[in-house]
A and B are shown apart, each in its own frame.
Chain A
Amino acid sequence: MGETIVITSGKGGVGKTTITANLGISLSLLSFGVVMVDADIGLRNLDLVMGVEKKVKYHILDVSKGLCTLDEALVKDTRSQAPLCLLPASQSHFKEDIQKDDFSQLIHSLRKRFEYVLIDSPAGIEYGFKTAMREATQAIVVVNPEVSSIRDADRVISLLEQKKIKPIYLIINRVNAELLKKKEIVAPEEIQEILDIPLLGTIPEDNSVLIAANQGKPFAYQPQSKLGEIFLHMAKRLTNTEPMVVEESAKTESLWNKVKKSFTLKK
């Protein structure tokens, strides 16, 4: 049975879909069979970011309603040598239109066929998120170095922990190097210290992310590029073929962590 990883954040617009797409590609470059599930029912975007929107014929609700088979709904990315598929969301339904049990059954079927099932969760902590995380065996929480994003991530982490999902990884996205140098944003090591989960990677703010999404040509397909390389490293960490990131400040336990650990045994 494959691993099921939910990619979530709490706050919207932090880059979950871009990360799901590029991480999925990077895992496939490492020869793992990967399926990406767009769980953002009603707000389908993973197909666009992947550049496979013209291949979408059916969606997840068609499968759950028996209008097509799972194979018919899976969009195969032929750019990848290893199996890499996308199960698209519906664009014309609402989150509540899919039954949680039907979603779980679909994920169960996919886990039998793929080594990694990546679930692109909708923003928020309501029904859509609860459905998306239901079958997860691991989670990735995406944050931007912004106070609202970090606070929402903390809330999401506590909900994931309540569901006993472990490990929960952190990806810090859109780190502006100039602002970081000027100390005008929360530093990645501070974010990791506050949220206290393993850091899978840090992604710099880069215009090429927007350009790649516009063109439907995910940058992970260029593993020699700066961003492609970052994702390849994250995929290796996820598959335990490379050690996790240890921020310098995290090597020595801070007072904040000592205080926190003294009353939160959850992390």
Chain B
Amino acid sequence: MASGKKATQRLKSVISKDREVLSSGSIRVLKRELGHIISKYLDIDKRKIQMTIEEADPEQYCLSANFQKKTKDIDETE
């Protein structure tokens, strides 16, 4: 892979992290609780949640979350 592409990937990853306002520990807990609530309404795979929370401006935070639909081969005990 050309280093330009690698650099772009690394930048996107690191800048996403930089923009986060919660520690990774708090994010994990929030993700788990959010997954628990959402799963009451949608058939989602709680292990595959992508979530980011950022400071949009001095007055508000913005939360973005992607939930993956549960597939049939997922262990239901998960």
Report which A residues bind B (CB closer than 8 A): 147, 150-151, 154-155, 158, 161-162, 179-180, 182-187, 190, 194, 256, 259, 262-266
Q: Which residue of B lies closest to A154 (CB)?
A: B15
Q: Which residue of A lies closest to B16 (CB)?
A: A260
The complex places the Cα of A256 from the Cα of B16 at a distance, in Å, of 10
Give B4 Cβ to nearest chain A Cβ, in Å.
4
Q: Are A185 and B62 in contact (CB under 8 A)?
A: no
B29 interface hit (Cβ, 8 Å): no
A179 cross-chain contacts in B, Cβ below 8 A: 4
Q: Are B11 and A256 in contact (CB under 8 A)?
A: no
Q: Are B19 and A264 in contact (CB under 8 A)?
A: yes
Known A263-B52, A266-B56; judge A183-B5 contact (CB<8 A): yes
Q: Are A262 and B64 in contact (CB under 8 A)?
A: yes
B7 interface hit (Cβ, 8 Å): yes
The complex places the Cα of A151 from the Cα of B8 at a distance, in Å, of 11
The complex places the Cα of A263 from the Cα of B10 at a distance, in Å, of 20
Report which B residues bind A (CB closer than 8 A): 2-5, 7-8, 10-12, 14-15, 18-19, 52-58, 60, 62-64
Known A161-B57, A263-B54; judge A186-B12 contact (CB<8 A): no
Which of B8, B58, B64 sits near A259, CB closer than 8 Å? Answer: B64
Give B66 Cβ to nearest chain A Cβ, in Å.
8
Q: Are B11 and A263 in contact (CB under 8 A)?
A: no
Q: Are B63 and A263 in contact (CB under 8 A)?
A: yes
The complex places the Cα of A28 from the Cα of B19 at a distance, in Å, of 38
- Report the 6 A-B pairs with minimum CB-CB distance, sorted nearest first: A263-B64, A183-B2, A263-B62, A183-B4, A265-B56, A190-B8
Give A21 Cβ to nearest chain B Cβ, in Å.
29
Q: Could you give 12 example pairs across A and B, Cβ below 8 Å?
A: A151-B18, A154-B19, A190-B4, A190-B8, A263-B52, A263-B53, A264-B19, A264-B54, A264-B62, A265-B57, A265-B60, A265-B62
Which of A182, A256, A263, A265 sits near B12, CB closer than 8 Å? Answer: A256
Known A186-B4, A264-B54; judge A194-B64 contact (CB<8 A): no
Question: Which one of A150, A182, A187, A264 has the greatest number of beta carbons of chain B within 10 Å?
Answer: A264
A194 cross-chain contacts in B, Cβ below 8 A: 8, 11-12, 15
18 new A-B contacts, CB < 8 A, other than A147-B14, A186-B8, A194-B15, are A150-B15, A154-B19, A161-B57, A180-B4, A182-B4, A183-B3, A183-B4, A186-B11, A187-B8, A190-B4, A194-B12, A259-B64, A262-B64, A263-B64, A265-B56, A265-B60, A266-B56, A266-B57
